[in-house]
Amino acid sequence: MSQLEFAAVPQPDEPARAEALRRHATLIKPVGSLGRLEELGAWVAACQGTCPPRPFARPRVVVFAGDHGIAAKGVSAYPPEATAQLVRALLDGGGVPGTLAAVAGAGLRVADLAVNGETPVAEFKVRQGSGSIDVEDALTGDEVIAALRAGIALADAEIDAGADLLAAGDLGVGVGTPSSVLIAALTGSEPVAVVGRGSGIDDTAWMRKAAAIRDALRRARAVLADPVALLRTAGGADLAAMTGFLAQAAIRRTPVLLDGLAAAAAALVAEELAPGARSWWLAAHRCAEPAHRLALEHLGLEPVLDLHIRLGQGAGALTALPVLTMAVRLLTDVATYEEAGVTPPVQP
Half-sphere exposure of 208 (CA within 13 A, CB side): 15
112 DSSP β-pair partners: 65
What was the pLDDT predicted at 3?
Answer: 73
- pLDDT tens-place string over residues 145-188: 999 999 999 999 999 999 999 999 999 999 999 999 999 999 99
Q: What percent of the chain has pLDDT over 90?
A: 95
- pLDDT band at residue 316 using 50, 70 and 90 as cut-offs: very high
Whether 14-54+330-340 and 59-321 share one fold: the answer is no
DSSP state of 187: H
Cβ neighbors of 292 (< 8 A, separation 6 or more) are: 183, 260, 261, 264, 286
What was the pLDDT predicted at 12?
Answer: 98
Compute the distance between CA of residue 267 and CA of residue 264 in angstroms, rounded to an integer.
5
- pLDDT band at residue 14 using 50, 70 and 90 as cut-offs: very high
Can you say how many angstroms the Cα of residue 166 is from the centroid of all Cα atoms in its chain? Answer: 9
DSSP state of 283: E
What was the pLDDT predicted at 346?
Answer: 81
Alpha helix (H) residue ranges in the chain:
14-24, 36-48, 82-91, 96-104, 141-160, 176-187, 191-194, 203-220, 227-234, 237-251, 261-273, 290-299, 315-333, 337-340
Domain boundaries defined on the chain = 14-54+330-340, 59-321
Domain 59-321 belongs to what topology? Rossmann fold (3.40.50)
- pLDDT band at residue 199 using 50, 70 and 90 as cut-offs: confident
CATH for 14-54+330-340, options being 3.40.50.720, 3.90.1640.30, 3.20.20.70, 1.10.1610.10: 1.10.1610.10
Give yes or no for residue 1 having a pLDDT over 50: no
The phi and psi torsions of 256 (rounded to 5 degrees) equal -130, 135
Helix axes 261-273, 176-187, angle to 10 degrees: 40
DSSP 2-28: ----PPPPP---HHHHHHHHHHHTTBS
Compute the distance between CA of residue 206 and CA of residue 77 in angstroms, rounded to an integer.
10
- pLDDT tens-place string over residues 232-281: 999 999 999 999 999 999 999 999 999 999 999 999 999 999 999 999 99
The phi and psi torsions of 111 (rounded to 5 degrees) equal -125, 125
Residues 16-34 have a mean pLDDT of 96
Q: Is 85 an annotated catalytic residue?
A: no
Residues 187-195 have a mean pLDDT of 95
What was the pLDDT predicted at 348?
Answer: 64
Residues 131-148 have a mean pLDDT of 98
Q: Is the dihedral of CA 202, 75, 259, 292 positive or negative?
A: positive
pTM higher than 0.85: yes
Pairing mode of beta strands 281-283, 59-66? unpaired
Q: Which of 11, 85, 248, 313 is catalytic?
A: 313
Give yes or no for residue 86 having a pLDDT over 50: yes
